[in-house]
Every structure is written in structure tokens, then in C-alpha cells.
Amino acid sequence: MHHVTATAEVSANSRYLRSQQERESSARSYPRRIPIAIAEAEGIYVRDMDGKVYYDCLSGAGTLALGHNHPVVITAIRELLDQKAPLHTLDLTTPLKESFVDELFASLPPSFASRARIQFCGPTGGDAVEASIKLMKTATGRRSVLAFHGGYHGSTHAAMSLSGTLGQKERVNGLMPDVHYLPYPYTFRCPFGSGGAETERLSLNYIENVLRDPESGIVPPAAVIVEPVQGEGGSIPASANWLRELRRITKERDIPLILDEVQTGLGRTGKLFAFEHADIVPDALILSKAIGGSLPLSVVLYNERYDVWKPGAHIGTFRGNQLAMAAGLATLRFIKEQELPERARLLGERLQHRLDALADRQDCIGDVRGLGLMVGVEIVDGREQPDRLGHIPASPRLAAQIQQECLKCGLILEVGGRHSSVIRFLPPLIITEEQVDEIIDRFSEAVQAAREALSC
């Protein structure tokens, strides 16, 4: 039997972590890299059980648009609790749900909203991905789906089948069949061994050719699913032009285009929805994370022409989370009133600008990229020669060390992307200029300390 001796030397964090390690599944992920137990959180700050305060630039993997426990969110939740409103309604409607849908539809471009339907899904992003694929398969009668290298859409069976993450997939048999992968415009590690604008052009040519070639081996797809900025894949933005062209290519062939805005949605990229940068209209839009204002909620919005479902074709018990609708509605209103998308754009520029300056001094920073407050820094081994495709070797070891040094100086950052070598900045949209500067100062110190620790 396990025995914890609570001596003064054993930190509170480590007691919780040990217990977690013994009882939770070995699929635990964040606690391995961010080994803390959280006591309190407010805005961009979290305090661990040992009293240490951190800047939280992980924000619940991009969920906490307003940071932790924002007053408008807390007030909305309190008010609902005081009203004797139901907390759980299946998919029955309520005045709150009505207001939530009103506000969401009013936030979408009119050309999309005027013909949109909404499906409330089970509470996670992955659930909404599943629903969107089922919907488009039903509507088109087709069976294949096109996704992108480096994409991430969730950990459920079908969502994982559509994701690049081999680490999750390789030991699971019988994934969803008929998924095919297309090249994303990842210029830094160009899949064609090129780079810059050429990557984008070649990827579009490839996609167009696959869809037009009668011997491509891929039957006409039920849908193309894409993230406007790849999140887990390493904060890789697709340009507005690339998205517009993808829209043209899919539209010409009557292929539904599903945009997964689980991570980019609600202002993070500098527009309320990332597809607005490209001025396109998707056939389906998947939202989760920020839309629940820190509580679980997910929806698919889609053009009514695809609304062919029979009653009950897609159900689920937890689709009426009223607390999440209250928190999400308050969050959406606040984001719009305070013009937080514009703030995300400006502060994202400041963040990237300061990171670019750091990259000039540190050759282990191979690339700085992103859109709004969704920024990635790719860590490479600058001493190594590029490979045959011109890719500089990634340095997952240094990236992990930087993440640990950041923690030491009170900064929580995510590491992800190809070869786990991209440091990801996903701060809340309410971050201030001073906080951006402080975060970069700490990050710069951490990069230096990590290099010294590994003598590289």
C-alpha cells in the first residue's frame, strides 16, 4: 500500500503529483511536462500548491479566451445559479439557449448566418468533429474524407483517424477508413522541399490535381476538413490566399468544406473567426473550447442544404450544458464589446516581433510564426546541416529543456508540433503589453539557460 509521509521537505505539488501518477491512467499528458498541482487561478496567472505563481500561456490549450475566472464569466454563472434555471436540458430549449444562438448567429458573417443551422454536440471539440463528418457523409452519400498532414481534430476514433498524430494512432487498429491526407502549406518544413510562396502554390496544385485526376485512387470525398491555423501541428497558419483557393477548389467540385475552428475560434487569430481573414464561407464550422467560456460546449454550424438528418440521427446526453451556454454567451459578448480580436492581432504582432528579435540572437530558433495570439517558435539544432528537403533538424530535447526552464521562471508554455519541437504561445486575449514583454523576458532567459544546461 502506498504511504505518503508529509514531511516539510516534500512539496505539496509533489504529493499531489505522486498520487495522480499512481491513480490516473498512463495516458496522462500535461502533468508529465507541467508537473504542478493548481491551487488558484485568475486572469493569466495560476498559483500552484507550493505558492508559486506562473504566467499561463497554455490557457487550457487555447480555451480560456478571457483567462481564468474572468468576472463576466463568474457573474454569468452565478446569475444562472440564482435563477433556478435547469442545468441540464438534453437538447430541449431555454431562454438562455435562445440568447446564446441569437448571439452566435449575429456574430457570423450574414452570408453564412442567414442559411445556417446549428447542432449542439457532446461537450468536446472531438464530438463536434464526429458530428460534422457524419453529417457530410449522410448529405453527400460519399465515404472518403480528406484531411491534412499535421492536422489535429481530437482523440475519439474518427477524429483521431482524421489527425496526423501518429503517436496516438499507430497502436490502434481499425481506424475510420477512406481518410486521405493532403499537404498543408507548412513553409518551414515544406513537404515539397521548397519553401515560401512556392509551398503554398505546390500544395494547391497537388490538391487540385488529386481531385481532378480520374486515377488518383481517391473517390470523390464527403468532405475536406481543415484548420485555418494548425494548432497542435505547431501553430502553422495557412495564408488567406491558400484558404480562398481551397474554398474555390472545393466549391467547384461541390465538396463540403469543414473548418475546424475549435482552437482558432472566438478572436484568437485577430478576427472573431479565422475564416474571416480569407473572406470565405465554409459549409460547416466547428466550434468548441472558447465558445463555452471555460466550460465544456461544442457546436457545428452548417449550411441548411446539408440538413438532411432524420430526427435523432445524432444525439447525446450532454448537449444542453446551460452553465457553459451562460459562460460562453458572456464570453462572446465581452470579446465583441471589448474588440478583443483586434487586441489579439496587435498583441500577437508585438509577441512575434519580440520573438523575431530573440531569433536573431539565438540560432536554435528556426522559425517564428503564427496569427494573432496563436504563435509558435520552432526549435532546431542550428549546428546541423539541412537534410535533402532543406529541413533543419528539429531539437525536441532542447525544446523540452526550454519548457522546463520556463516553468522554473514562472511561465507555462505548451510544446507540440512536429517532433515535439515547437514552443506554443496561447495566452488569453486579455493579456496586456506589459505582460507580453515580461513573458518574452522570461522566455529569453529560459532559452539561454536551456542551452547552457545542455551545452548546445
Query: What is the contact surface with ligand PMP in residues (CB under 6 A)?
Result: 61, 124-126, 129, 152-154, 227, 231-232, 260, 262-263, 288
Residue number with the shortest CB distance to ligand PMP? 125
Closer to ligand PMP by CB, 17 or 128: give it. 128
Closer to ligand PMP by CB, 181 or 192: give it. 181
Closer to ligand PMP by CB, 417 or 442: give it. 417
List b or e across 328-342, with b for residues whose CB sees 16 or more CB atoms inside 10 angstroms.
bbbbbbbbbeeebbe
CB 454 within 8 A of CB 409: no
Closer to ligand PMP by CB, 288 or 420: give it. 288
Please give the helix or strand (H or E) that residue 442 lies within, else none.
helix 433-454
Closer to ligand PMP by CB, 123 or 348: give it. 123
Task: Please state the closest distance from residue 418 (CB atom) to ligand PMP, in A.
Answer: 16
Q: Which residues does residue 58 pair with via DSSP β-bridges, in sequence order?
A: none
Task: Please state the closest distance from residue 186 (CB atom) to ligand PMP, in A.
Answer: 15
Instruction: Give the list of residues 6+ apart from residue 262 with CB closer than 8 angstroms, or none.
Output: 125, 128, 129, 153, 154, 231, 286, 287, 288, 289, 298
Task: Please state the closest distance from residue 359 (CB atom) to ligand PMP, in A.
Answer: 25
Closer to ligand PMP by CB, 136 or 450: give it. 136
Task: Please state the closest distance from residue 328 (CB atom) to ligand PMP, in A.
Answer: 14
Of 272, 295, 339, which Cα lies nearest the Cα of 285?
Answer: 272
Task: Please state the closest distance from residue 217 (CB atom) to ligand PMP, in A.
Answer: 27
Task: Please state the closest distance from residue 152 (CB atom) to ligand PMP, in A.
Answer: 5
Measured distance CA(73)–CA(329) in Å, rounded:
9
Instruction: Give the list of residues 6+ apart from residue 88 with CB closer than 8 angstroms, or none.
Output: 318, 320, 321, 322
Instruction: Give the list of residues 6+ apart from residue 90 with CB closer than 8 angstroms, or none.
Output: 317, 319, 320
